[in-house]
């Protein structure tokens, strides 16, 4: 297994694509009008997303720290309507 340096993360595209880990914060945005309230984002990243009483997602933290970036990206990828954006 190839070694990954501590300051790098591997892209899901494969081992040939390595992007530097910048250690900064990400910016999360949601197109709430297209949310169907499935709750998968909340299950994956409960500190960032929450489905409110109105059945729509609420963003609890739009700029999570580094340890929550992976969960935020996984939640975005799992959203059935693809309404979550996580930008560097």
d(C-alpha 65, C-alpha 77), whole Å = 18
Measured from the CB atom, the residue of 72 and 84 that comes closer to ligand SF4 is 84
CB of 51 to ligand SF4, least distance (A): 5
Cα 47–chain centre separation: 11
For the chain, the C-alpha Rg in angstroms (whole number) is: 14
- Binding pattern to ligand SF4, positions 54-73, x when CB under 6 A? ---x----------------
Answer yes or no whether residue 45 interacts with ligand SF4 by CB under 6 A.
no
24 neighbors 69 (Cβ within 8 angstroms): no
Minimum distance from residue 64 beta carbon to ligand SF4 (Å): 15
């Amino acid at each position: 297994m190839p070694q990954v340096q501590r300051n790098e993360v591997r892209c899901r595209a494969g081992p040939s694509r390595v992007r530097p880990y910048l250690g900064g914060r990400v910016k999360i945005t949601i197109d709430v009008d297209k949310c169907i309230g499935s709750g998968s984002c909340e299950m994956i990243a409960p500190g960032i997303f929450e489905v409110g009483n109105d059945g729509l997602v609420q963003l609890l933290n739009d700029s999570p720290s580094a340890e929550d970036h992976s969960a935020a990206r996984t939640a975005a990828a799992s959203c059935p309507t693809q309404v979550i954006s996580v930008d560097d």
